Copies of this chain bind each other. A is one copy, B any other.
Amino acid sequence: MEHSSLPREDLGLFTDLYELTMAQAFFRQGMSAQATFSLFIRRNPPDRGYLVAAGLEDVLDYLANLRFSAGSIDYLRDIGIFTRDFLDFLAGVRFTGSVRAVPEGRLFFANEPVLEVTAPVIEAQLAETFIINQVNLQTLLATKAARCVWAAQGRGLSDFASRRTHGTDAALKMARCSYIAGFQSTSNVLAAQRYGIPPAGTMAHSFISSFTSEAEAFQAYADTFPDRTILLLDTYDTVEGARNAVKIAKNLEHDGHRLVAVRLDSGDFESLSRQVREILDDAGLDYVQILASGGLDEFELDDLVQAGAPIDMFGVGTKVGVSADAPWSDMAYKLVCYDGRPVMKLSTGKVSLPGAKQVFRVRDGQGRLSHDIIGLDHESYPEGEALLEQVMSGGAPTGPAAPLDLIKERLAQDLQDLDAGIKRIRHPDEYPVSVSPALEELRVQVEQQLQTAQ
């Protein structure tokens, strides 16, 4: 399977030029020692009480297949800034290092490493661009989608985002991440095929418009899919559309079929859903469900669910597919150790924690998540679960990729064990995360050394 929608032979060049210029400088200096880089988010995006780890499968696939094709080397030569011996070296580069990571679907929090790479410095540095690109995007999407699932309180959700995600790769990743978060289906057929997610779809306004009347369009669709028809009501007038839908439902009943649902796609969903529910119920069609779509994300879902709107399923698109209220995070991939020496940066507002790390998750007596401790990799907290697992060693994955359904279960379990206040859609409580005394001591020590050295 092609990952991340990039042809394998192009993986090497999907990087920032500075990764390659730094590599040539390292190469020239003979610097090939082991480096550890740590991937983390410094500050939670607005209204986020937790983050969902996602994107690891793509990272491991990338690292296992990272190389510079002959065509890539030719292009780099043409740029005119790389030496022949460096390009010869680059042609043979493979990722030979190790990766420790929070498994996909697990929750993590600001400042906690979600992934650490340890490898010869050039290999670890080259991978920066791709690793951030994928884990940042998939974490944002999985987190946004998980918030929708929480807001929907058991109502069904389907991913309708493909047309408005930022490009084709993001469309596929949105389908994957929303499924992990608990969505039932995706509209994207390619994503459904690649990831084994149920595909879902109804009809567009254009379908209605291409017939001379709405009723005629409805009937044509019901004739084609008598057992899986969802009728779109708002092309001309939602309430009139509901009355037309009743006629179709009765025709279907007559032939031994059932209309599955009707879809609202514009207007005041709370008011319209009540009117449409009443029309359906009055016609004895209590089994016909109501699907709402159009401009929805967790904030609107929360409002509609709290108001008791009789909506059974939601189709979410644009705002979730671009994580509209938080389209970016400050996820960074920072060098924390080189050749056994712990390092950090001191840039204004961007201080990082030195050394290879581990996150220890401590539960209370009832098994609920109590707090996390960010410690050094070699520390031991017997009362805490070590979150980062070895997922790649010597450049090879330590096991097969986790099935999506397992990732989905991990997330559901973590969320079940998390206090409601931290899951709140607006202004959530902060989950307690502390730094171990040993790590804090190392931080102070490295900072002092740096201030003396510079």
Q: Is the CB of A10 within 8 A of B190?
A: yes
Identify the interface centre among A29, A125, A225, A338: most chain B CB within 10 Å of its CB. Answer: A29
Copies of this chain, whole number: 2
A168 touching B6 in the complex, CB below 8 Å, given contacts A163-B136, A327-B327, A346-B237: yes
How far apart are the CA atoms of A43 and B236 in the complex, in Å? 21
Query: Taking the complex as formed, is A129 at the interface, i.e. its CB lies under 8 A from any CB of chain B?
Result: yes
**Given A17-B200, A204-B22, A236-B345, A167-B166 contact (CB < 8 Å):** yes
Q: A76 vs B190: C-alpha distance in the bound complex, in angstroms?
A: 10
Min CB–CB distance A192 → chain B (angstroms):
7
- Interface-facing stretch out of A93-101, A317-325, A389-397: A317-325
Do B347 and A267 touch (CB < 8 A)? yes
- Tell me which residues across on chain B come within 8 A of A16, comparing CB atoms: 160, 162-163, 187-189, 201
A164 proximity list for chain B (CB < 8 A): 132-133, 136, 328, 331
Given contacts A168-B14, A190-B13, A237-B346, contact A129 B163 (CB under 8 A): yes
User: Interface segment, A46-54, A213-221, A406-414?
Assistant: A213-221
Q: Could you tell me if B335 and A328 are in contact, using CB atoms closer than 8 angstroms?
A: no
Q: How large is the interface on A (under 10, 10 to 19, 20 to 34, 35 or more residues)?
A: 35 or more
Q: Which residues of B contact A323 (CB under 8 A)?
A: 327
Per-residue 0/1 for A335-373: is the Cβ within 8 Å of any B Cβ (1 yes, 0 no)?
Answer: 100110101111111100000000000000000000000
Additional 6 contacts, C-beta under 8 A, given A132-B163, A205-B345, A267-B348: A18-B204, A21-B202, A129-B163, A167-B173, A235-B346, A236-B345
Residues of A within 8 A of B (CB): 2, 4-7, 10, 13-22, 24-26, 28-29, 31, 35, 37, 72, 75-76, 79, 81, 121, 125, 128-130, 132-134, 136-137, 160, 162-171, 173, 187-190, 192-193, 199-210, 212-214, 220-221, 223-225, 228, 234-238, 240, 244, 265-267, 318-319, 322-324, 327-328, 331, 334-335, 338-339, 341, 343-350, 450-451, 453-454
